[in-house]
Amino acid sequence: MIKGVIIKKLEKFADERGWLAEIFRNDEIKYEPAMAYVSITNPGVARGPHEHKNQSDFFVFWGPGSFALYLWDNRKDSETYEQRQIIEVGEKNPVAVLVPPGVVHGYKCISNEPAYSINLPDKLYAGEFKKEDVDEIRWEKDPDSPFKID
């Protein structure tokens, strides 16, 4: 496990009405989202890898569809520096994942159908009213990147 990354197994609570699942509780994870978005990724397509200097991401991978989630610790002062972790997430393994700044991350749709993800980052994309620089290092655009999604 990469230090500071939190992976929370999500569980369904079902009854005769249907089901619900808690994805976030601030008494379990001290975190304050600033925005939320949902995305669909087509089969075989990867998003990332990229890294944030100041932003944490809080992903929810529930399904439909599944991803291979890649994480690399790129924080030189971390006890897990340079460690890589790959985990299957989504329909077969529903989880919420907190990714702190300095942890490079990306995911690839490994299901035969498009896969859904939700993200609740703790910073606004491009700042208030989208007037600031985006906090991203786009490793996927660097042909010499040490971070590759298979």
pLDDT digits 0-9 by tens, 35-73 = 999 999 999 999 999 999 999 999 999 999 999 999 999
**Where exactly are the structural domains of the chain?**
6-11+32-141
Amino acid found at 94: P
Read off the pLDDT of residues 110-142 as tens digits, 9 standing for 90 and up: 999 999 999 999 999 999 999 999 999 999 999
CA 126/CA 62 separation, integer angstroms: 27
* Residue 93 φ then ψ, to 5°: -145, 75
CB 50 within 8 A of CB 136: yes
- Residue 76 token pair: 């030189």
**6-11+32-141, CATH topology level:** Jelly Rolls (2.60.120)
CB 47 within 8 A of CB 139: no
Read off the pLDDT of residues 68-96 as tens digits, 9 standing for 90 and up: 999 999 999 999 999 999 999 999 999 99
